Structure 1
């Protein structure tokens, strides 16, 4: 018997006590069979949705009654409980026009997308697997339940789910399933931007993301058409042995699996097909492509409704993507103070990933600079280096006591941080106090205020 959390067992016991037959289904069964802990739990049973609401009146939420879905919160764990059903026609290529509630688990599994997701687990530990999902799971294959063309025409989101599962699970798409997905890709135009965004967030974090991006650019190019011009676009430059999309896919895979990093690398060269020029030797150059890519990223993020926090982090990474600095303490410390500690760490990741996805000639030398920069960055972090005004060992109140007023205080704090980051001034109270006194006597803050007013 596969291990089940007590919160899940409580729901099963309640349904069985009322005379119903519950099953765990979908991704949670797939993950348990893979030896992984499920991130969520889905169940199905022959209990009508109104009966589920009655049985779990204190903790049930009608999250999709028209499709028989009720979310039951058990011990703080949300469990999606859907009544066994047959689906009617899918005229909008996304949702069934009607559903018919039934009592057969086999009938319910017949409407699911892929065989590895069409396995049910009964409370006694019996697996119901009418479509060979366990064999496909062992083989690492994604295969549609029934006819692939029909499955994708019913719900176009399944096309993007196929790509996402290839990335996250590291599975390959079965030949007919893959062919049908490529042929039906235009149906993704029917999928809401929010659903595309949700799938892409998961897809980009997959361990097999590089190979997946290389395999399905035509599919991804439907919801994100900016991708398509990059596919097969020759860079005509000795630094690059891959076309723009080949470089992009490898760069995405080369950064750690953080959303802002994976999206940044997906976006960073989108502008290249718009600005290629050639020098006298016929070498391709892409002057200004980072700024163009950043603007394209803004349009994509607005279209897909990125949340503001992620959009701001990606914007910050693209803004500094081309920054260059020597692998020296003062240079890196100043970057950390100017951009922020996390942004600089991410910048080092993107530099190394961008290099890793280029031609091998000269790669070792190019990477050595950024590896040295990473080493210095790590040393500064371990030392607790001062990288913001708030970390200075002097406060605005201390400066006010010396006679500084209003905006003068901010100007002097910024100057002190600059000197600390440049490794010219230690971040110690007595040293900062003495420097602030010298700046006061020199009239630095007053002169700075006057200059700002004239500009």
Structure 2
């Protein structure tokens, strides 16, 4: 910091920790640059990424310089020349200039060798918008017009895109994730390479694919990814391939199964962020809703039948789809609660519902299992039902009004403290014991009887009224 002015790029100030690590390294004679996401995001006018440094020193030299300055260092990635400096709780990734060797597994280089200059290091990076370096005094180093691609809103591979994807197949999903998150297009040659190299994704560990897919879905633009890059999305989720081009042969559907799913995914993302009962546009959409939207109809090809009039039907597809989704999501190593909630939404997304108190309480009871957030899940159920209706033929759009009416009724039921589960019933085993009931199986029987009665509207959800109803 000179004259009290903090170094900044395009109005984004470099953090104290990032600046200190850079200064310490350069004071030791080790040239260093800020690289990667921080540079990209700063040029776009915001600070949305951690600070990463690229340095001329070996990881041992970088570590020694930082430790000599009293900075804590974690040997986080020394196999690839990387360490982490921890300054005031902020983690700064510091990686030596490097060249990658041959990639034999479609993911990791066989060896990493030290490069002599930052230019060589930038040449090995994935996309032009990520291949820029910046220094407070030396300025911006942009060898591949990454700044121009930011202005054009384009994701473009550095060099030959096929070579980039053959080196690391996961870069294909990263390209789509960046395009979705930034609302960019993928440059034509790079997009062509995505389609051609999509089968290479089979070599990537499924949990890594799951992480990138989850990142795509959290952008709320997963539907765009499906429509623009179908070969890659079907390689990532092979169950989607059977849906592509699958004619539903139904007057209720204007699109094949695959395009219907893409449209549902798009609408669900928007509803999750902007619906009137609490959606926050600054927060990512619910992962359970996004995964449910992506997979809600994957059971359709397996359950397709045609009646005597030539109309297509998919009897049982929600149940089949939920089972398929569970296996698929486990394969991708997704969190257990996300799998549970998404599969529940898939299983019941086509459940007939009426805007009636008892029927809505019945559905709320279904979504009140252990660990479940019933109000949130009911909101997501209505989100996916609304998105599903809007992804069909225009003749089905009328159902949206009924869905919103049910959403409002559920909100009122919750506000009025209506019971739909044992946890929301204002009667507990201790109340029954205090009323003279002996501990044992009868306690559970009485509680279930009381819950059923209050859900049916025969008795208010108040302890005294429930006890009087049971007539102990």
CA-CA distance at 1:182 after TM superposition: 1.0
1:54 maps to which residue? 64
2:300 maps to which residue? 272
- Given that 1:90 and 1:97 are in contact with CA atoms closer than 8 Å, whether structure 2 keeps it comes out as yes
Alignment equivalent of 2:122, drawn from 109, 115, 129: 109
Q: Give the 5 Å matches for 1:210-359.
A: 210-255=223-268, 256=272, 257-340=285-368, 341=374, 342-359=376-393
CA-CA distance at 1:39 after TM superposition: 4.0
Q: 1:97 to 1:294 in 2, by over 3 A?
A: same
The CA distance in 2 between the partners of 1:150 and 1:133, in whole Å, is: 19
Q: 1:74 to 1:414 in 2, by over 3 A?
A: farther
2:25 maps to which residue? 15
Paired residues, number: 437
The CA distance in 2 between the partners of 1:294 and 1:399, in whole Å, is: 39
- Given that 1:170 and 1:207 are in contact with CA atoms closer than 8 Å, whether structure 2 keeps it comes out as no
Q: Give the 5 Å matches for 1:25-174.
A: 25-57=35-67, 59-124=72-137, 126-174=139-187
- Given that 1:166 and 1:208 are in contact with CA atoms closer than 8 Å, whether structure 2 keeps it comes out as no
Confirm or deny that 1:421 pairs with 2:434. Answer: no
1:443 maps to which residue? none
Q: Which runs of 5+ in 1 are unaligned?
A: 441-455
- Given that 1:316 and 1:343 are in contact with CA atoms closer than 8 Å, whether structure 2 keeps it comes out as no
2:422 maps to which residue? 389
Q: 1:395 to 1:290 in 2, by over 3 A?
A: closer
CA-CA distance at 1:128 after TM superposition: 1.1
Q: 1:312 to 1:207 in 2, by over 3 A?
A: closer
Q: 1:116 to 1:387 in 2, by over 3 A?
A: same
3-state SS of 1:403 partner: coil
- Given that 1:276 and 1:284 are in contact with CA atoms closer than 8 Å, whether structure 2 keeps it comes out as yes
Across the aligned residues of Structure 1 and Structure 2, the Cα RMSD in angstroms comes to: 1.9
The CA distance in 1 between the partners of 2:366 and 2:440, in whole Å, is: 22
CA-CA distance at 1:103 after TM superposition: 4.0
2:199 maps to which residue? 186
Superposed CA offset, 1:117-166 (max 9, x none): 11112133721111000110111101111111211111111111112222
1:376 maps to which residue? 409
CA-CA distance at 1:36 after TM superposition: 3.1
3-state SS of 2:352 partner: coil
Tell me the TM-score normalised to structure 1 length. 0.91
**Which deviates further from its counterpart, 221-230 or 233-242?**
221-230
- Given that 1:12 and 1:123 are in contact with CA atoms closer than 8 Å, whether structure 2 keeps it comes out as no
CA-CA distance at 1:263 after TM superposition: 0.8
2:5 maps to which residue? none
- Given that 1:233 and 1:273 are in contact with CA atoms closer than 8 Å, whether structure 2 keeps it comes out as yes
Q: 1:13 to 1:383 in 2, by over 3 A?
A: farther
- Given that 1:168 and 1:209 are in contact with CA atoms closer than 8 Å, whether structure 2 keeps it comes out as no
Superposed CA offset, 1:391-430 (max 9, x none): 3333321110122222322232233233333333222232
CA-CA distance at 1:172 after TM superposition: 0.8
Superposed CA offset, 1:61-115 (max 9, x none): 2222121011233322333221111222223222222222134222211110110
- Given that 2:106 and 2:168 are in contact with CA atoms closer than 8 Å, whether structure 1 keeps it comes out as yes
- Given that 2:293 and 2:384 are in contact with CA atoms closer than 8 Å, whether structure 1 keeps it comes out as yes
3-state SS of 2:84 partner: strand
**Which deviates further from its counterpart, 419-428 or 160-169?**
419-428
3-state SS of 2:99 partner: strand
3-state SS of 2:423 partner: helix
Superposed CA offset, 1:30-82 (max 9, x none): 12222233243322111211123334456322222121011233322333221
3-state SS of 2:395 partner: coil
2:464 maps to which residue? 430
3-state SS of 1:391 partner: coil
CA-CA distance at 1:225 after TM superposition: 1.3
The CA distance in 1 between the partners of 2:193 and 2:362, in whole Å, is: 53
Q: 1:14 to 1:319 in 2, by over 3 A?
A: same
**Which deviates further from its counterpart, 69-78 or 141-150?**
69-78
2:282 maps to which residue? none
The CA distance in 1 between the partners of 2:26 and 2:180, in whole Å, is: 37
The CA distance in 2 between the partners of 1:357 and 1:331, in whole Å, is: 25
Q: Which runs of 5+ in 2 are unaligned?
A: 1-7, 273-284, 369-373
Tell me the TM-score normalised to structure 2 length. 0.87
- Given that 1:169 and 1:208 are in contact with CA atoms closer than 8 Å, whether structure 2 keeps it comes out as no
- Given that 1:334 and 1:422 are in contact with CA atoms closer than 8 Å, whether structure 2 keeps it comes out as no
